[in-house]
Amino acid sequence: MKPPAFAYHDPQTVEEACQLMSTLDNARLLAGGQSMMPMLNMRFVMPDHLVDLGRVSALSAIEERPGALRIGAMTRQRDLEYSPLVRARCPLLADAIQWVGHRQTRNRGTIGGSLCQLDPSAELPSVCAALDATLTVQSARGTRTLAFADFPAGYMTPSIEPDELLTHVELPDWPAGHGHGFVEFARRHGDYAVVLAAALLAVDAAGRITRASVTLGGIGPAPVRVGAVEQALVGQVASATLFRGATEACRSIEAMEDVHAPASYRQQLAVVMSRRALEAALASIGSPASSTGAAAH
């Protein structure tokens, strides 16, 4: 249970980090370490070089951009949790962050680390899927941006090259007063979810849904946007009955099966969690972020 030997690098700038990643063989990036350190301790990963981003201060910032919130990849989950800007501009993220690990792990864990780890049951990738986030990655070869929908290449595999690093993520605004809900079912609070759901709703003055986003985590190899549910909601007047009918579509999503739960159990959870997320979203319309979904544990 001790990490393997490696050469340690602690660059101060993104450019230095990119330079290191472009020249070193078998190098891995270290962000907050809350998943990487267990993997090193258990020797699931054996890098020859570890490039620690902990001293690259330019990667830790929460900034307002026109139409979006821009978050540096090394921003600690704790800083997201306590940010008034996140609560005001991106309440879904404020809801979700309460579910990420525990206080000690949020003090170290980063948004970029979680996104690149890309665990299908993790909260932050599903938030990015729900919001149609845009990611920016950089290498010595240049910079590119990609939609979150194109980010997962497979189970726990982001579509970024070994010499690239995620620098920041942009979370597009939803209209002021929109509804947001985040719920999950886990065996214990702080564990990875068996199934989680994120929902966003915008409604007009008559209560008619003008825009909907429904995302499930923990069911497929990457977060799943449930287009069938979204389409069934738009144009309808929001209500518990509407949600109950629409979320039945989640039962036919192809689901993972593992030691924690069979596929049919996850499909059942997908129906229930997406309904609860929508109900929480509807209840939150017009009010700022609150912790939702406490019923799930």
Partner 1 sequence: MTQKMAITLDVNGTGHEIRVEPRKTLCDALRADCGLTGTNVGCEHGVCGACTVLMDGVPVRSCLMFAVQAQGKALRTVEGLSTGGKLHALQQAFTDNHALQCGFCTSGFLMLAAGTLEQQPDIDDESLREVLSSNLCRCTGYQNILRAVRQVRDAGKAGAR
Contact by Cβ (8 Å): 277, 181: yes
Closest separation between CB of residue 3 and partner 1, Å? 4
Residue 121, classed as helix, strand or coil, is coil
Distance between CA 200 and CA 210 in Å, rounded?
11
Contact by Cβ (8 Å): 106, 77: yes
Q: Which is nearer to partner 1, 81 or 164 (CB)?
A: 81
Q: Which is nearer to partner 1, 33 or 179 (CB)?
A: 33
C-alpha 278, offset from chain centre = 18
Contact by Cβ (8 Å): 242, 218: no
Q: Which is nearer to partner 1, 147 or 294 (CB)?
A: 294
Beta-carbon neighbour count of residue 297 at 10 Å?
14
Q: Which is nearer to partner 1, 183 or 250 (CB)?
A: 183
Q: Which is nearer to partner 1, 28 or 178 (CB)?
A: 28
Closest separation between CB of residue 52 and partner 1, Å? 6
Contact by Cβ (8 Å): 208, 236: yes
Closest separation between CB of residue 184 and partner 1, Å? 14
Q: Which is nearer to partner 1, 40 or 281 (CB)?
A: 40
Closest separation between CB of residue 140 and partner 1, Å? 23
List strands edge to edge, sheet with 27-30.
Answer: 7-9, 49-52, 27-30
Closest separation between CB of residue 169 and partner 1, Å? 23
Closest separation between CB of residue 61 and partner 1, Å? 18
Q: Which is nearer to partner 1, 108 or 211 (CB)?
A: 108
Contact by Cβ (8 Å): 49, 22: no
Burial class (CB in 10 A: 0-12, 13-18, 19+), 163: middle
Q: Which is nearer to partner 1, 10 or 132 (CB)?
A: 10
**Site residues (vs partner 1, CB under 8 A):** 1-8, 10, 33-34, 37-38, 40-42, 50, 52, 54, 78, 101-105, 107-108, 188-190
From residue 95, alpha-carbon distances to 17, 34, 171, 240, 268 in Å are 32, 21, 15, 21, 23
- Bridge partners (DSSP) listed for residue 90: none
- Nearby residues of 197 by Cβ (< 8 Å), 6 or more positions away: 181, 182, 183, 184, 214, 215, 216, 217, 270, 273, 274, 276, 277
Closest separation between CB of residue 56 and partner 1, Å? 13
Closest separation between CB of residue 156 and partner 1, Å? 17
